[in-house]
Structure 1
Amino acid sequence: MRLLVIHAHPVPESFNSALCRAAVETARAAGHEVRLIDLYAEGFNPVMSAEERRAYHDDGPPPPDVAPHIEALKWAEGLIFVYPTWWYAQPAMLKGWMDRVWRPGVTFSVPTPTEPMRPALTNVRLIGVITTLGSPWWFWTFLIGAPGRRMILRGLRFCTARRTKTFWLGLHEMDTQDATTRARYLDRVRARIRHIPV
């Protein structure tokens, strides 16, 4: 499978970066074709300008810095997001990437008075998330409502193939986990990536 890994963490030596490396290395070893977008490392600009917003619904070419990301989305059969959950959702860097890259005509059609919005990224048939969270699972799930999970596994999934499979891996209470627990989570990530059909 052609897997696009989207990573969003500013610190290269972070545990989150180790999770990304584990996912990429395991996928390649399993025979997948992998591309990596490391948003912080490449200095992606997550801010949509006024000019870009005005042209958002036009059929013209996207901004030059967005075009390679759109090409990668169209290439991919599977998307794997690796990021820390901050304030119950994605970092601003990743949310800005979604705002600028998941554009009309690329990932969905704009609804009209006679036509509903339709998915356009039907080449994608797998979406996975690998994340860490500071909050306990019960607090994030039951009290907060898991907004970051719903955004990707429901919102972004709508733009993809009808039978897109999804998975979610989250290490809760990240700030108090010991080395053994982190190592177990890395093993869990590797096992889930190996489970993806080639």
Structure 2
Amino acid sequence: MHIVIIFNHPYEGSYCNAILRSVKTGLERAAHTVDTIHLDNERFNPVMTAADLQAFRNRVPVDPTVIAYRQRLAAADHLVFIFPIWWELMPALTKGFIDKVIFPGVAYDYTPRGYGMIPLFKKIRSITVITTMNTPGFLYRLVFGNAIRKAVITGTFWKMGYKNRKWINLSGVKQASEKKRSNWLRNIEHRYAQLR
């Protein structure tokens, strides 16, 4: 299979980067091909401009990066998003990627009656979102309402019609022991080595 990873973390020494390495190692063990869209390194511009919004209405993107990403995503069998949760939400580059690339005429179209969506990336079988945060998981669920699940898993990919969606959230990362962090990385590598 061909896996496209959408990665967002600016610091090379971050735990998200360790997760990225584990995902890629697992995928390589399983002989999958991998394309990593590193939003920070590729200097993706997350800002929706007036031209982008006009393009949204016309359903034809004008940002050359978005056009290039469309081709890369169209080749994917599986998408993996990896990013930290900052102030209970995704970083700006991930939000901008969703705003500018998950775009009508690129990632989805509307049903004939206009009330639903049809995904245009026909090869994609599944989508996984892997996040890290320092907030304890129970607080994120009870106080902050699982904002990423609502915004990304349900509000974006369920709404678009993708049935196979998974969210792996590693909470309390700052407080976690080195042993626990190492176990998480091993489990992630194993998961992706088993991906079929």
What TM-score do the two structures reach when normalised by structure 1? 0.90
- How far apart, CA to CA, are the structure 2 residues paired with 1:111 and 1:123? 19
Match of 1:116 in 2: 115
Deviation at 1:91, TM superposition (A): 0.8
Contact 2:4 2:34 in 1 (8 A): yes
Amino acid aligned to 1:119: I
Distance 1:41 1:86 in 2: 19
Deviation at 1:16, TM superposition (A): 0.8
Q: Secondary structure at the match of 2:165?
A: strand
> What corresponds to 2:182 in structure 1?
183
Instruction: Answer whether contact 1:119 1:158 (CA < 8 A) is retained.
Output: no
Provide the identity percentage.
Answer: 28
Question: Cα deviations across residues 131-183 of structure 1 (Å, max 9, x unaligned)?
Answer: 11111111001221111123222233236665x32222222111211211110
Q: Counterpart in 2 of 1:12?
A: 12
Tell me what 1:42 maps to.
Answer: 42
CA distance in 2, matches of 1:64, 1:29: 33
Q: Which stretch has the larger CA shift, 23-32 or 153-162?
A: 153-162
Where in structure 2 are there 5+ consecutive unaligned residues? none
Partner residue in 2 for 1:152: 152
> Residues 116 and 86 from structure 1, CA distance in 2 versus in 1: closer, same or farther, beyond 3 angstroms?
same
CA distance in 1, matches of 2:62, 2:18: 32
1:71-86 equivalence runs, <5 A? 71-86=71-86
Write the letter of the residue equivalent to 1:170.
N
The question of whether the paired residues in 1 share the 8 Å contact of 2:2 and 2:75 is answered with yes
Match of 1:170 in 2: 169
Q: Residue 167 of structure 1 aligns to which amino acid in structure 2? A: K
Which segments of structure 1 move beyond 4 Å, counting only runs of 4 or more?
A: 159-162
- Offset of 1:12 from its aligned partner? 1.0
Unmatched tracts of structure 1, length 5 or more: none
Give the match's secondary structure for 1:28.
helix
SS at match of 1:127: strand
Deviations 1:35-75 (A, max 9, x none): 10000011111111112112212144532121111111111
Q: Is the 8 A contact 1:8 1:93 kept in 2?
A: yes
SS in 2 for 1:188: helix
Contact 1:5–1:37 (8 Å) recurs in 2: yes
Count of aligned pairs between the two proteins: 195
Asked whether the 8 Å contact 1:5–1:82 carries over to 2, the reply is yes
> Structure 1 residues 106, 190: closer, same or farther in 2, change over 3 A?
same
Distance 1:91 1:139, change over 3 A: same
Whether the aligned pair in 1 keeps the contact of 2:89 and 2:148 (CA below 8 Å) is yes
Greater Cα offset, 142-151 or 96-105: 142-151
Matched residues in 2 for 1:115 and 1:65: separation?
28
On the 8 A contact 2:110/2:118 being kept in 1, the answer is: no
Determine whether 1:87 maps to 2:87.
yes
- Give the 3-state SS of the residue equivalent to 1:86 in structure 2: coil
Instruction: Render the CA deviation track for 1:69-92: whole Å, top value 9, x for unaligned.
Output: 111111111100111111112111
Q: TM-score, normalised by structure 2?
A: 0.91
Instruction: Tell me the distance in 2 between the aligned counterparts of 1:26 and 1:160.
Output: 28
Please state how far the C-alpha of 1:115 moved relative to its aligned partner: 3.3
